[in-house]
Structure formats: structure tokens, C-alpha cells
């Protein structure tokens, strides 16, 4: 069974540009979450999508956005990149259910390492 696939693995962008990261969840998983990992702030929740709807959002500026497609694949976009956006962006998928918290774990991808110069 294939795991969570994130592409690309590495990206280098210039300040002011925008970037799109992709995540393909495990087959059958309808929940996809995104996290940002930096040495200073650690792991922080960005947002979660379930059946194409954003169900939960972290405390990030509007430059960070995402979406989920009907096949559960998800993308996140960061516009007007800043140096502080340099981070490892992790995607996680889960067998979460629609109306309640499930007790399933989350499977993470290997991440996309974004460097803003």
C-alpha cells in the first residue's frame, strides 16, 4: 500500500514568489492535514481538509491557502513568499470520519523542504 506522497521534495524560491505543494494521501483516506516545521516554532498546524472542505485552520496568515480535490489529493499554496516561510512542510492523511473525531492515527509524508532566498 503506497504511503503519503509529497511533491516536490525540495524547492528553492525567491522572496515575493508563490509556491504550490502537492500531497497524495493513502488510498481511501479522505482527511488531509498540513503542518509547517521550523527549528524555531516546531511543528505547527496549517489546515485540514475532509471531502474537499476545509474543516480546521491554524493560525497562519491568508497567504497560506489550500484545497482538496475529489480524489482526496491536496495542494497548499503560499503567495508572496517571505524568508520566514522557509520550512519543512508536512502532509498527513487519516481515515478520519465526517462528523466526529476518530481514533485513527495520522500517516505523514516525507515532506517538502522549501527554501526562500
What is the binding site for other proteins (CB under 8 A)? 4, 6, 31, 33, 35, 42-45, 48, 50, 55-56, 58, 90, 92, 94, 96, 99-101, 103, 105-111, 113
Whose Cβ is closer to other proteins: residue 65's or residue 79's?
A: 65
Whose Cβ is closer to other proteins: residue 11's or residue 79's?
A: 11
Q: Are 81 and 14 in contact (CB under 8 A)?
A: yes
Instruction: Reply yes or no: is the peptide bond before residue 24 cis, omega within 30 of 0.
Output: no
Shortest distance, CB of residue 98 to other proteins, whole angstroms?
Answer: 9
List Cβ neighbours of 62 (8 Å cut-off, separation of 6 or more): none
Whose Cβ is closer to other proteins: residue 78's or residue 92's?
A: 92
Amino acid at each position: 500500500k503506497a504511503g503519503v506522497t509529497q511533491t516536490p521534495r525540495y524547492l528553492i524560491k525567491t522572496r515575493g514568489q508563490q509556491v504550490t505543494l502537492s500531497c497524495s494521501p493513502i488510498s481511501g483516506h479522505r482527511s488531509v492535514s498540513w503542518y509547517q516545521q521550523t527549528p524555531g516554532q516546531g511543528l505547527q498546524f496549517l489546515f485540514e481538509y475532509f471531502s474537499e472542505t476545509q474543516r480546521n485552520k491554524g493560525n497562519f496568515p491568508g497567504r497560506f491557502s489550500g484545497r482538496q480535490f475529489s480524489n482526496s489529493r491536496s495542494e497548499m499554496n503560499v503567495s508572496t513568499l517571505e524568508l520566514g516561510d522557509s520550512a519543512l512542510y508536512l502532509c498527513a492523511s487519516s481515515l478520519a470520519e465526517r462528523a466526529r473525531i476518530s481514533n485513527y492515527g495520522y500517516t505523514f509524508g516525507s515532506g517538502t523542504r522549501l527554501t526562500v532566498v
